[in-house]
Amino acid sequence: MTNTIPCEGLTFSLYKDAHRMMMYESYYRNDVWDEGRLVPFHPIELSPAANVLNYGQGIFEGMKAYRTVKGKIVLFRPEKNAQRFVRSAAKLAIPSISEGQYLQAVKEVVLANRAFIPDSRDGRCSLYIRPVCIGIEPLLGVRPSREYLFYIFTSPVGPYFEKVGVVRLMVMDVHRAAPHGTGEAKAACNYPVTMRPKLEAQKRGFDDVLYLDPVHNRFVEEAGAANFFALMDDGTLVTPELGSILPGVTRESVIQLAKDKFGLMVQERELDVQEVCDRAKECFLTGTGATITSVETIHWKGKAYGVNRNGFELAHRLYEELLGIQLQKKEDPYGWIMELT
Ligand SMILES: Cc1ncc(COP(=O)(O)O)c(C=O)c1O
């Protein structure tokens, strides 16, 4: 593989040489988005009164570009992220960026940074793509901004969790999102509430928090940045229904693969955490960052439940299928891959 950076040593963090990379930016002023442009990665100057700094009017996305076994640079279902970005914008009263502008900008910024796309062949490394849109107008009263910045930066990354492939989760008395709130949007405001619980969980030897619904404090929602699945003892694969959770692109893809490739019955429904602890043979998380990560233990009401009676088998098989498509090792019957080169 020529003209690329090594996968070795990459973690899920901002690349040390990000300043050498390109980013995309487009401004919204006087009721229109400008045509947008590629510029060197650079700090953004904002008024201390900018909406996003005071009231948090900001959304983002997370995608990956892969360098595949065929030597191509590809994106995975980018139109899904474009659609979610448009929906997140609407939820936060941000003027819509068209799906077309979003996709064009993503393609341009990935190709401009192609020298930084690591060799993805073993599935551990990729180029993470972070589209963001923020309200930048200086203001004092609480209202939507009239000026916005849409930008995209990228960073070569390695695995999301420190311990690749397996995590231990802790249930806490903290809720991430309320019904009819912003949980289903990829809004920046959904994440600060997860920071203290995650630190607390890590202090106690866990990797992440498993959030429950705020009404009954009983039904599983999702982890801090990944969706949740449980393979039950009757062989059905269950995942929490959509509502206040993020409708993950990986979640949707895994549901399809589980049905088509493994003939599994998949249910999207309320999933009681006690039912998971008592009846799950196997649990895993899905996400662009997390890919498919097995859950070893769930800590709930003072007790650690092992939820890996299946030896992580389904997660491994789904991971192979998903990654096989993403890296062009396997056929792509769904048209999920967009080749950029
Ligand atoms: C809260 C949350 N849930 C789930 C996911 C998984 O979504 P996707 O599969 O689209 O990456 C993410 C992020 O990526 C997330 O931030």
Amino acid identity for residue 293 in this structure: T
**pLDDT category of residue 331 using cuts at 50, 70 and 90:** very high
Q: Is 64 a catalytic residue?
A: no
**Same domain, yes or no: 255 and 177:** yes
> Does residue 202 have a pLDDT over 50?
yes
* Residue 336 in domain: no
State the Cα–Cα distance between residues 209 and 290, nearest whole angstrom.
14
* Residue 305 in domain: yes
**Same domain, yes or no: 237 and 318:** yes
Mean pLDDT of 9-29: 96
Contact 221/212 with Cβ under 8 angstroms? yes
**Does 250 sit in the ligand 1 pocket, CB within 6 Å?**
yes
Say what percent of the chain tops pLDDT 70. 98
> Does residue 1 have a pLDDT over 70?
no
State residue 119's pLDDT score: 86
State residue 132's pLDDT score: 98
Is the pLDDT higher at 201 or at 165? 201
**Does 78 sit in the ligand 1 pocket, CB within 6 Å?**
no
> Does residue 198 have a pLDDT over 80?
yes
> Does residue 3 have a pLDDT over 90?
no
Mean pLDDT of 167-181: 94
**Same domain, yes or no: 95 and 201:** no
State residue 2's pLDDT score: 54
Mean pLDDT of 97-125: 94
Q: Write down which residue in 157, 179, 203 finishes a domain.
A: 157
State residue 284's pLDDT score: 97
Q: What is the DSSP letter of 13?
A: S
Query: Could you tell me the two tokens for 314?
Result: 């389904």
Q: At what angle do helices 99-112 and 78-91 cross, to 10 degrees?
A: 120
Q: At what angle do helices 249-262 and 313-326 cross, to 10 degrees?
A: 110
* Residue 6 in domain: no
**Same domain, yes or no: 291 and 186:** yes
Q: Select from 288, 293, 326, 336 the residue to mutate for testing ligand 1; criterion: most ligand atoms less than 8 Å from CB.
A: 288
**Same domain, yes or no: 227 and 300:** yes
Domain that holds residue 27: 18-157
**Same domain, yes or no: 66 and 181:** no
* Residue 264 in domain: yes
Q: What is the DSSP string of 156-192?
A: EE--SSSSTTEEEEEE-S--S--TTSSTTS-BGGGSG
* Residue 10 in domain: no
| Strands of the chain, DSSP E | 22-29, 32-33, 37-40, 58-60, 63-67, 73-76, 126-135, 148-157, 166-171, 208-212, 220-223, 226-232, 237-239, 266-268, 280-287, 291-300, 303-306, 337-339
* Residue 117 in domain: yes
> Does residue 299 have a pLDDT over 80?
yes
Burial of 157 (0-12, 13-18, 19+ CB in 10 A): buried
What is the position in ligand 1's atom list of the atom closest to the CA of 81?
A: 10
Query: Could you tell me the two tokens for 99?
Result: 């799906």
pLDDT tens sequence across 116-166: 999 888 788 999 999 999 999 999 999 999 999 999 999 999 988 766 689
**Same domain, yes or no: 146 and 239:** no
pLDDT tens sequence across 49-61: 999 999 999 999 9
Q: Report how many domains make up the chain.
A: 2
**Beta-strand relationship, 208-212 and 220-223:** antiparallel
Is the CA virtual torsion 43, 153, 54, 288 positive or negative?
Answer: negative
pLDDT tens sequence across 52-91: 999 999 999 999 999 999 999 999 999 999 999 999 999 9
* Residue 88 in domain: yes
Q: Write down which residue in 120, 135, 157 finishes a domain.
A: 157
State residue 122's pLDDT score: 77
**Does 129 sit in the ligand 1 pocket, CB within 6 Å?**
no
Mean pLDDT of 323-334: 96
**Same domain, yes or no: 153 and 170:** no
pLDDT tens sequence across 228-262: 999 999 999 999 999 999 999 999 999 999 999 99
**Same domain, yes or no: 23 and 151:** yes
Q: Write down which residue in 139, 157, 175 finishes a domain.
A: 157
> Does residue 173 have a pLDDT over 50?
yes
Q: What is the CATH number of the domain that holds 141?
A: 3.30.470.10
Judged by DSSP in three states, 5 sits in: coil
Mean pLDDT of 97-118: 97
Residue 285 alpha carbon to ligand 1 centre in Å: 10
> Does residue 180 have a pLDDT over 70?
yes
**Does 225 sit in the ligand 1 pocket, CB within 6 Å?**
yes
State the Cα–Cα distance between residues 52 and 204, nearest whole angstrom.
33
**Same domain, yes or no: 315 and 196:** yes
Average predicted confidence (pLDDT) for the chain: 95
State the Cα–Cα distance between residues 262 and 165, nearest whole angstrom.
21
What is the position in ligand 1's atom list of the atom closest to the CA of 227?
A: 4
Q: What is the CATH number of the domain that holds 176?
A: 3.20.10.10
Is the pLDDT higher at 119 or at 288? 288
**Same domain, yes or no: 295 and 274:** yes
* CA-to-CA dists, residue 178 to 38, 52, 216, 249, 338, angstroms: 38, 21, 11, 21, 35
Tell which residue, 293, 278, 299, 285, has the closest CA to residue 206.
Answer: 299
Mean pLDDT of 169-174: 94
Amino acid identity for residue 69 in this structure: V
**Same domain, yes or no: 41 and 134:** yes
* Residue 80 in domain: yes
State residue 161's pLDDT score: 74
